[in-house]
Chains A and B, each alone.
Chain A
């Protein structure tokens, strides 16, 4: 993915999460908003920071980020 395409994706995902916040509440909303944040973080790591070219490191960062996001989603949906 090019950096310009990544930027467009990030802007679209940011607008989508803000639109979700204006529309809804509840557990589904929480999960979707955090999944959108997860996707944005992946784009920044993969394209802006260049991990898309180093699959081994990309997998490691994906694992760490995934564990963090699962913890956040878990804490957010039990409340």
Chain B
């Protein structure tokens, strides 16, 4: 436990926590809006959701939480070389997530599914697309931090990546499973 944590302060950068809270609020509002809209047309939303590949999204969940694990280990690493390789590993798993997500988007496009097919797909593309944008940003951030890993930058980069993780573990069941 760090001195800051022992004194009751938030771990890492305060601005990262402001970002985490604001992102959680945005995604949280989107997910609540999706479930509220579902009530207006349950059969239509259920039929649209049945086109999703929940198994692929489950694989992506394991990929992302594993990437978060590597980022968390990088924060604990005492040697810069070890931190660098852990951050590179986290970034590579982020790219794997993006590859699987890209295949999912391509499959939907091949089926002729777009924003306008049904309101479910508007929520789907908005929520998952916004999340993908954060994954891309996270991969870039982790890549930059891996060039010259210092404790403060590694922790800030990992915090951003865990926020991406946190959003996904809430988004996955609401969009893909329920």
Which positions in A face B, CB cutoff 8 Å?
Answer: 3-4, 6-7, 10-11, 14-15, 17-18, 20-22, 30, 33-34, 36-37, 40-41, 44-45, 47-51, 53-57, 64, 68, 71-72, 75-76, 78-79
A-B contact pairs, 10 of them (CB 8 A): A17-B58, A18-B54, A18-B61, A36-B173, A37-B172, A49-B11, A49-B12, A49-B163, A68-B28, A78-B39
CB proximity of A74 to chain B, nearest CB, Å: 9
- B11 closest partner in A (C-beta): A50
- B173–A41 touching, CB < 8 Å: no
Once the chains are docked, how many angstroms separate the CA of A17 from the CA of B176? 11
CB proximity of B30 to chain A, nearest CB, Å: 12
- B58–A14 touching, CB < 8 Å: yes
How does the 8 Å CB contact mask read for B68-83 relative to A, with 1 for contact and 0 for none?
1101110010000000
Residues of B within 8 A of A40 (CB): 65, 169
- B69–A71 touching, CB < 8 Å: no
B162 CB–A CB distance under 8 Å? yes
How does the 8 Å CB contact mask read for B1-34 relative to A, with 1 for contact and 0 for none?
1100110111110000000100010001001100
B166 CB–A CB distance under 8 Å? yes
Residues of B within 8 A of A37 (CB): 169-170, 172-174
Residues of B within 8 A of A68 (CB): 28, 32
Extra 20 A-B pairs, beta carbons < 8 Å, given A14-B65, A40-B169, A48-B162: A4-B69, A6-B72, A7-B66, A7-B68, A7-B69, A10-B68, A14-B58, A14-B61, A37-B169, A37-B170, A41-B170, A44-B65, A44-B162, A44-B166, A48-B158, A49-B12, A49-B162, A57-B10, A75-B32, A79-B39
Once the chains are docked, how many angstroms separate the CA of A45 from the CA of B169? 11
Which positions in B face A, CB cutoff 8 Å?
Answer: 1-2, 5-6, 8-12, 20, 24, 28, 31-32, 35-36, 38-39, 42, 54-55, 58, 61-62, 65-66, 68-69, 71-73, 76, 158-159, 162-163, 165-166, 169-170, 172-174, 176-178
Once the chains are docked, how many angstroms separate the CA of A54 from the CA of B14? 14
